[in-house]
A = this chain, B = another copy of it.
Amino acid sequence: MERFKDVLKASNLKSTHQRLAILDCIDSFGHIDIDAIYEHIVPKYPSMSKATLYRNINDLISFHILEEVKLPNQKQQYEIKKVPHIHLLCTHCSKVEDVFVETKPLLEAVTLNSGFTISNSFIVMNGTCKECKA
Contact = CB atoms under 8 A, between A and B. Distances in A.
A133 B127 CA distance: 37
Contact of A72 (B68, B73, B97): B68
A126 interface: yes
Interface string A108-132: 0110011111111111111111100
A44 to B, nearest CB: 31
A60 to B, nearest CB: 14
Contacts of A28: none
Given A72-B68, A72-B70, A118 B125 contact: yes
A120 B86 contact: no
9 residue pairs, one from A and one from B, having the closest CB atoms: A115-B130, A70-B70, A120-B126, A118-B127, A122-B124, A116-B127, A121-B125, A117-B128, A99-B114
A72 B116 contact: no
A122 B119 contact: no
A26 B58 CA distance: 30
A103 B106 contact: yes
